[in-house]
């Protein structure tokens, strides 16, 4: 700091803030694309937040009790990259210089896992604020589970910066309404109110009263000049002091602050300013024209006081934790287990088994039984439903409803907020310490679909319990009957989709989901009862039945004739038992059929070629797939010579057995197709 | 009415209301499933609305200027079925008795097209209220376009009944915020505030202040006792008299009204009451225990006064229209055209053509040019974007932004509200008189996906302009790069997906969308420039090129060698020109390649077998498909012997040409795969 002895603290602060601004401008200009305006506008407030409010240690971005920061307005990624760099995270200057380039840690939108200090992947608007609600909820739950009067092991805030666009998105409504309902008072939102969207002045499309809206949600609302650091600091302090209410601070800013010709215009929003305007802006900010990416003397030293503070804070927490371990060894052990996602080693004892049952059992019910069998052993499991608990069978018995007053409870009532639920689960998963699952009807997987893709991109362990998985739901009709959803979910990279064929397969689907610790899993379950085929082994009608554990390999031989089969019948879920029935019809025609249960394409694709060939011998070209869903994609398994019996139109409102008949999803149809393939 | 001479009007009203209640109970009991509680709770208010407020003619449910009614809480379908039946629509009693049965007109949730008088398909929560915003917007726009000071041809209200669930959904936030912004004062919402959701008391998940929330959106808010008909009538009158603001009437009701043991409980929500409780409820309502489906004397006569009123209202409107025709013949002709969705017969003159261009042109830009070429001839075309006009190229030049003050304008600024946009477009489409289109990035098709399925189910003509359709968008990175979306859209029954291969194919994609009057179409367009291949015909490098009009058949031969091809290369969109480049590389290896442009699987599937075989000769088994998207589903076209070059993982943030290289989407890779297939 030799050159800055005469610089006042206020001037030094201003220097730091303008460093953030100019780094954002320069990096975007250098990349040739990006969003400079938002970082320039929010630099003052974010600087105050990061250097004066937040509890974080740049040397350990994984410290469990750090404050979380979410840049919901992910397009302004240079704001967080500049802050990470300047406060001493492992993000060197050359990464800023490679903004939006192949292999850099500074992609167009911030990505969790890729960049140290980025807590969640943002960019698709509204997701970040909803993730933050999940983080605050995880914090609240873990605090109530682990804290003791003398030991607040979990005690951190979640800070978010949101844009106009975030608040226009419906997901922000769902998540913020829920946050208000749950009184998540450690959630603090800075709303970058700059009155500009990509298409121009926000008033062209957006004129709601944000104060009134958030007050209606039960939030604490403040409004400040975003370019007045002390106002921001005071408001943040007030927000932290507020109990029983989440906080939003309406932060009035100028997008592209400092740019003589583009400030307060959409031109500052989504494109580089241009060399000339960069030069003019630097001039206006009293900044040297050259070099680009300048960090003036004193800036690093000043901003990296965060490191020292953070290290001290973490050291204090480590001491606290040591005391906790000594005083509460069992809780500390549970704490370690919950953060490491330790799973029980005794699956075989834990997983429920089901007796064969003529009436049968819906796989959603088998799923409910599995949840309850596992919940005691896996206390990290935290479940909810978008107002369909009793239909999704997602309730954990005897542990109550999670509420503002009882945050230690493990049943979350999300309300009819599927999209919010998905994103809240993502936030909980990336927060850590919990394994969230959530239910709705499979049809409404569409409502939360954007969050599934983000869970997959973030490799976040989120478990979806999608019940009522086909026309088999019957009378509720086509609006509620999924057709395209299985294929649409299978198309998402990184997502496991499992559709167990009976009650016995269902616990293994759950096991696969729990073992899939680096990504999301969708469990696809029937509303209607399905024959329970277990106990597997010798079966008096079908011959030997493959063990349900085969679910873990994605596809397995459920039933096969003694010799080479003439035909292979492939099915998932509720159609597995139809395929089995077809075996008997084919036997009458002297056709020997194998049945392959295919609960998960993704897991099957992971098996080696020899296993896959043992299940689907390449020589057997006669194959019939049956699934109560679109046929799209089944060609992969039945091949050119095969047939697919599925549904490529919408369903109907009627008792489900009638719909199955009308739509040709019957053993007779399968048998006829197989016989036809074989020319008999 | 011989038996009811002593009945007062008030008593008769009560008799009618209880008829609605008991029909709902009986029909659900008879079906064995359904939602009786909501119709029982809202019977009073809905009765007032339908018999005293609404302008409708049960004899002509298609009268353009009727008031629209939307049961957003579609699970309460027996409410609308009972109202339709009792007020004289073509829905006989035996349809009520076949509620939720195969082939009936009374499915579990109301379906547009299936049941006369059902204006839109509802059930997935939040959709109905957003559709209603679209209807009110269509009304406002058409009124401003067609009304003249002496002739209000378009002058109707849109009424909606919403539930707690509807208002919890994020889409309700998006749509209602937009409605407030646009000051849609002819939109009137009755909020069935019964404090019960499927999972129990609403307060378990929902505690927002609806008054404050809607006031923040700029709405007019009232609150009434939903079981006090005069209060409801007064509030409706007040709402109709309110200008510059949409109205919401918080209607406090008791779910399952009249049921001694289930009123005000979740048990009245989603299941039949049970024979015993039905009997007890009838007793409590002073209703005969038998027969079921009783309509007491006087009820039909009283409620079907609606028919007489409606016929008079429509007759008056017909007179008005005759006067309008006489005074404004040109406008009247335009009115007829707009309602019949008449398209220009001169496509060839209208559609833009593009000169070959080394630099190339993005198909999103060709789409923008097409919109502007067509907009003058198709004034029903009304377009918007979810805050991405300048990226989606969706603006109609020179016609201004649609606003509260200028509703005749044709550019809609939806704001960052994709889901709302989709549902508002559905509402506009089923209202009639307009052809809505709307843009966003292809990735964000996920945000509005639930509405696409509903458009397809309703056979509603909605056109999606999905740009930035692959990793080709480059630096914005994986959150913005679609991978699974093409397959996921192709999986939706009834949706056309078109991904044109260059500027010249793009106008034909628009033509296909405009000619698809009974369903939705997704146009999938590139951000990046693509070589312009037109003028088609003899080409000095590739030989003869197929005419771009082939787009209308879904797939066509773009280029073929003189004799039988050795290999067929299939591609869509930005990969078509890569396939063409591969032809040249293969020629060097003496391999003769055909290129098939496959912009639309759905249109191709509609062609007869001989055409399909002429494009993809069954004898040519060596096939390579290339598409910058998931490989899922391409097996259908390449077969067992083929190869698929696609992307089954997430994208990356970098200049797009680099990503194409790293991901192997290159002519070299295609050529190598083809050569490998042929064993050369």
Tens digit of each residue's pLDDT (9 = 90 or more) over B104-138: 999 999 999 999 999 999 999 999 999 999 999 99
pLDDT at B539 over 90: no
CB B96 within 8 A of CB B106: yes
Q: Is the pLDDT of residue B5 over 60?
A: no
pLDDT for residue A296 is more than 90: yes
User: Could B633 and A122 be called an inter-chain contact, meaning their C-beta atoms sit closer than 8 Å?
Assistant: no
Chain A residue closest in CA terms to B267: A390
| pLDDT tens digit sequence for A605-642 | 999 999 999 999 999 999 999 999 999 999 999 999 99
pLDDT in tens, B90-101: 999 999 999 999
- Return the H-helix or E-strand segment holding B383: strand B381-385
Strands (E), B67-135: 68-71
**Which of the residue ranges A375-384, A611-620, B323-332, B540-549 would you say has the lowest mean pLDDT?**
B540-549
Minimum CA–CA partner of A390 in chain B: B199
Residue B460: CA count within 13 A, CB half-sphere: 33
Start-end of H helices in A248-377: 275-284, 299-303, 305-327, 329-340, 347-350, 363-375
Residue B199 with chain A: CB contacts under 8 Å: 385, 387-390, 413
Res A108: pLDDT:
98
Indicate if the pLDDT at residue A604 is higher than 70: yes
Q: What is the pLDDT of residue A8?
A: 82
Q: Say what the alpha-carbon torsion angle A282, A288, A292, A297 is, to the nearest 10 degrees.
A: -120
Eight-state DSSP code of residue B426 = H
Sign of the torsion formed by the C-alpha atoms of B445, B446, B447 and B449? positive
Please, which residues 414-443 of chain B have a Cβ atom closer than 8 Å to chain A?
414-420, 443
Percent of all residues in chain A with a pLDDT value above 90, rounded to a whole number: 92
pLDDT per residue as tens digits for the range A1-55: 334 445 688 899 999 999 999 999 999 999 999 999 999 999 999 999 999 999 9
Question: Which B positions 188-217 lie with beta carbon below 8 A of chain A?
Answer: 197-200, 202, 204-213, 215-217
Look over chain B and give the mean of its residue pLDDT values, rounded to a whole number.
95
pLDDT tens per residue, range A424-456: 999 999 999 999 999 999 999 999 999 999 999
| Whole-angstrom distance, CA of residue B634 vs CA of residue B276 | 56
What is the pLDDT, as a whole number, of residue A2?
Answer: 37
B284-294 residue pLDDT tens:
999 999 999 99
Which residues of A are part of the catalytic machinery?
418
Tens of pLDDT, residue by residue over B448-498, are: 999 999 999 999 999 999 999 999 999 999 999 999 999 999 999 999 999
Q: Do the Cβ atoms of B126 and B166 come closer than 8 Å?
A: yes
Q: pLDDT, tens digit, for every residue of A500-547?
A: 999 999 999 999 999 999 999 999 999 999 999 855 666 667 778 899
> Is B630 within 8 Å of chain A by CB?
yes
- What's the CA gap between A227 and A250, in Å, rounded? 12
CB-defined contacts A:B, below 8 A: 346
Closest CA to B124 of B136, B110, B134: B110
Both tokens of residue A480?
């509620």
In angstroms, the CA A224 to CA A232 distance is 6
Q: Tell me what pLDDT residue B202 has.
A: 85
Whether residue B130 contacts residue B171, with contact meaning beta carbons closer than 8 Å, is answered with yes
| pLDDT at residue B3 greater than cutoff 70 | no
The string of pLDDT tens digits covering residues B132-187 is 999 999 999 999 999 999 999 999 999 999 999 999 999 999 999 999 999 999 99
Residue A291: is the preceding peptide bond cis (ω within 30°)?
Answer: yes
Question: At B632, is the pLDDT very low, low, confident or very high (cuts 50, 70, 90)?
Answer: very high
* Residue B600 burial (10 A CB sphere; 0-12, 13-18, 19+): buried
B485 vs B10 pLDDT, higher one: B485
Helix (H, G, I), strand (E, B) or coil at A537: strand
Residues of B in Cβ contact (< 8 Å) with A174: 168-170, 173
For the residues A542-555, what does the mean pLDDT come to? 91
Å between B551 CA and nearest CA of chain A: 22
pLDDT tens column, A211-266: 999 999 999 999 999 999 999 999 999 999 999 999 999 999 999 999 999 999 99
| pLDDT at residue B674 greater than cutoff 90 | yes
User: Is residue B534 predicted with pLDDT exceeding 90?
Assistant: no
Provide the greatest CA pair distance for chain A. 98
Residue whose token pair is 């076949």: B98
Position B2 scores a pLDDT of 37
Number of residues assigned to chain A: 680
Looking at residue B6, its pLDDT comes to 57
pLDDT digits (tens, 9 = 90+) for A304-329: 999 999 999 999 999 999 999 999 99
* Per-residue confidence (pLDDT) for residue A4, from 0 to 100: 43
What pLDDT does residue A536 have? Answer: 60
CA distances A652 to A575, B306, B597, Å, are 18, 31, 35
User: Among A259-263, A267-271, A328-332, where is mean pLDDT lowest?
Assistant: A267-271
Q: Which of residues 135-194 of A touch B (CB under 8 A)?
A: 164-166, 168-174, 177-178, 180-181
pLDDT computed for residue A3 by the predictor? 41
Average pLDDT in the A401-428 region? Answer: 98
Q: Is the pLDDT of residue B307 over 50?
A: yes
Least trusted range by pLDDT, from A345-354, A573-582, A634-643, B532-541: B532-541
pLDDT above 70: residue B540: no
Predicted confidence at residue A534, as pLDDT, reads: 59
């Amino acid at each position: 700091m030799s050159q800055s002895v005469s610089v006042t603290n206020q001037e030094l602060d201003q220097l730091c803030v303008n460093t953030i601004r100019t780094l954002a401008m320069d990096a975007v200009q250098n990349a040739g694309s990006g969003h400079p305006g938002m970082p320039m506008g929010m630099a003052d407030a974010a600087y105050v937040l990061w250097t004066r409010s937040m509890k974080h240690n740049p040397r350990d971005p994984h410290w469990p009790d750090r404050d979380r920061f979410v840049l919901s307005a992910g397009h302004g990624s240079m704001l967080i990259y500049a802050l990470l760099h300047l406060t001493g995270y492992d993000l060197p200057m050359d990464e800023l210089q490679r903004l939006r380039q192949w292999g850099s840690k500074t992609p167009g939108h911030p990505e969790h896992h890729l960049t140290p200090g980025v807590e969640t992947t943002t960019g698709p608007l509204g997701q970040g604020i909803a993730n933050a609600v999940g983080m605050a909820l995880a914090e609240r739950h873990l605090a109530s589970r682990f804290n003791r009067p003398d030991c607040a092991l979990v005690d951190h805030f979640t800070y978010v910066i949101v844009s106009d666009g975030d608040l226009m998105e419906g997901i922000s409504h769902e998540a913020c309404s829920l946050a208000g309902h749950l009184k998540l008072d450690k959630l603090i939102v800075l709303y970058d109110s700059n009155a500009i969207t990509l298409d121009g002045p926000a008033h062209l499309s957006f004129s709601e009263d944000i104060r009134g809206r958030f007050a209606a949600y039960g939030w604490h609302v403040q409004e400040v000049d975003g370019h007045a650091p002390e106002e921001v600091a005071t408001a943040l302090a007030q927000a932290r002091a507020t109990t029983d209410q989440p906080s939003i601070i309406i932060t009035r800013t100028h997008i592209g602050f400092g740019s003589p010709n583009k400030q307060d215009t959409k031109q500052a929003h989504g494109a580089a300013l241009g060399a000339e305007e960069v030069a003019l802006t630097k001039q206006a900010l009293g900044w040297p024209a050259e070099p680009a990416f300048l960090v003036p003397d004193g800036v690093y030293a000043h901003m990296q006081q965060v490191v020292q503070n953070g290290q001290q804070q973490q050291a204090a927490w480590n001491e606290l934790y040591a005391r906790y371990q000594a005083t509460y060894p069992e809780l500390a052990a549970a704490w370690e287990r919950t953060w490491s996602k330790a799973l029980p080693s005794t699956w075989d004892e834990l997983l429920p088994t089901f007796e064969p049952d003529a009436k049968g059992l819906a796989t959603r019910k088998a799923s409910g039984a599995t949840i309850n069998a596992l919940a005691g052993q896996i206390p990290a499991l935290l479940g909810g439903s978008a107002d369909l608990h009793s239909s999704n069978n997602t309730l954990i018995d005897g542990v109550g409803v999670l509420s503002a007053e009882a945050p230690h409870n493990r049943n979350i009532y999300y309300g009819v907020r599927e999209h919010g639920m998905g994103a809240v689960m993502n936030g909980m998963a990336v927060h850590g310490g919990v394994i969230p699952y959530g239910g709705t009807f499979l049809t409404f997987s569409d409502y939360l679909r954007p969050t599934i893709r983000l869970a997959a991109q973030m490799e976040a362990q989120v478990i979806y319990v999608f019940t009522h998985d086909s026309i088999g739901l019957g009378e509720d009709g086509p609006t509620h009957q999924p057709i395209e959803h299985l294929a649409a979910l299978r198309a998402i990279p990184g997502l496991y989709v499992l559709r167990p064929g009976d009650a016995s397969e269902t616990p293994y689907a759950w096991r696969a989901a729990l073992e899939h610790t680096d990504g999301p899993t969708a469990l696809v379950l029937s509303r209607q009862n399905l024959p329970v085929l277990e106990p597997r082994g010798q079966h008096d009608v079908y011959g030997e039945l493959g063990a349900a554990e085969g679910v873990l390999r994605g596809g397995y031989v459920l039933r096969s004739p003694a010799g080479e089969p003439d035909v292979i019948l492939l099915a998932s879920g509720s159609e597995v038992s139809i395929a089995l029935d077809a075996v008997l019809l084919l036997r009458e025609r002297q056709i020997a059929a194998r049945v392959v249960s295919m609960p998960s394409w993704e897991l099957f694709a992971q098996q080696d070629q020899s296993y896959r060939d043992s299940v689907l011998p390449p020589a057997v070209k006669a194959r019939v797939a049956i699934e109560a869903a679109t046929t799209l994609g089944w060609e992969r398994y039945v091949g050119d010579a095969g047939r697919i019996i599925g549904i490529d139109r919408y369903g109907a409102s009627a008792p489900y057995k009638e719909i199955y008949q009308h739509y040709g999803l019957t053993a007779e149809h399968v048998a006829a197709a197989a016989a036809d393939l074989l020319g008999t």
